[in-house]
Amino acid sequence: MDLLNTLVDKGLRRELPTREEALAVLATSDDDLLDVVAAAGKVRRHWFGRRVKLNYLVNLKSGLCPEDCSYCSQRLGSKAEILKYTWLKPEDASRAAAAGLAGGAKRVCLVASGRGPTDRDVDRVSRTIKAIKDENEGVEVCACLGLLSDGQAERLRDAGADAYNHNLNTSESTYGDITTTHTYADRVDTVQKAHAAGLSACSGLIAGMGESDEDLVDVVFSLRELDPDSVPVNFLIPFEGTPLAKEWHLTPQRCLRILAMTRFVCPDVEVRIAGGREVHLRSMQPLALHLANSIFLGDYLTSEGQAGKADLDMIADAGFEVEGADRVTLPEHRAARDCGSHPSAGCGSAGDTGCGGHDAGGCGSHEGGGICGSAPAPAPAADEPRPDLVAVRRRGAGTDLAPNA
């Protein structure tokens, strides 16, 4: 296929595809799906070999959020029966993190619900970062606390944070349809604050909220322009009690196309399969490892994930290997860049990768939605609702039960 050969060549050169080419990936047929996965897999293996980086989430504060993000079980007005608790003590958060690190994770992601941290919250999280790093040499810590005010990113960096996560989630044109209490521009501003402070920026998307192919391409192209080091791809978990509980638009094949498109647009980025992979990829999760080089181990913020042991078995059975703490995630050209801006963020040890350069290019010959010379593929059929696959987390942080790692 001329399209896939073109996209592989561009991916190996870190050259930006055209929007038409990205849309064509999303419009490919099921008959072409394995060819799409194989092509994107060449780009993934070129930059990351067969390594899979493991990350572990610790939900520092669950529920009780004043924001109205329609997709979120912790939102204002949510009737989802999730765990609700206020800030974990640093020693409790460190204990939860240790379980994930023992399972092979090299990054701990500290998340707290809310619009954004107060200065007191930053102090609290700083103590938690110190507690985790004191107990675990070489661990990466990423904070995800909402919208940042001036100076807060620098304080987190000085406390030892390596990265900051804040997702764009969807396209700018549709952002107001899912959230009204803050704006798309607010999110962009926080990612830029993290960058400016020398933190490794982590920003991604949520697929499955009723968005169009054009919306998906818009948000991934916007991410490439922001140049985060990590791009988590979430698949909507339709929690009962949230406005999007009835949104079941994803099939495993659709998820794989979205991951492939993300890989082609951001060829040397750490593409991370995040929330919802078990719900929507299901038995096709191993194929997704040919596209993404990073996953979350175990449970998520408010939902249960696949058992940690099953994650490790899946990686091994698919012919991949867990990336060790002694390996640098970044391709050499990006590791050198990040070492110059933030010496503590993975230089010479564990690091993340980014979306590559911003030099646009492409032949512009793949107009429309199909492979070159073919008719556009029909829109994918909606997935059958599977609320039985959505399990609320009842273990780990905020409980007396051992975490899943």
Summarised one tens digit per residue, pLDDT across range 341-389 is 444 444 433 333 333 332 333 333 323 333 333 344 444 455 688 988 9
pLDDT level of residue 6 (50, 70, 90 thresholds): very high
Smallest CA-to-CA distance from 330 within 162, 147, 108, 212 is with 162
**72 in active site:** yes
Q: Which residues are annotated as a binding site for [4Fe-4S] cluster?
A: 65, 69, 72
**363 in active site:** no
**355 in active site:** no
CB of 64 within 8 A of CB of 56? no
CB of 78 within 8 A of CB of 242? yes
pTM (2 d.p.): 0.89
**144 in active site:** no
Mean local confidence (pLDDT), 23-30: 98
Top-level class of domain 2-389: alpha beta
- Annotated domain spans of the chain: 2-389
Cα(47)–Cα(268) distance, rounded to whole angstroms? 6
pLDDT level of residue 339 (50, 70, 90 thresholds): low
**65 in active site:** yes
Summarised one tens digit per residue, pLDDT across range 98-112 is 999 999 999 999 999
Which residue in 14, 72, 107, 355 is the catalytic one? 72
Number of Cβ atoms within 10 Å of the Cβ of 328: 17
Cα(147)–Cα(117) distance, rounded to whole angstroms? 7
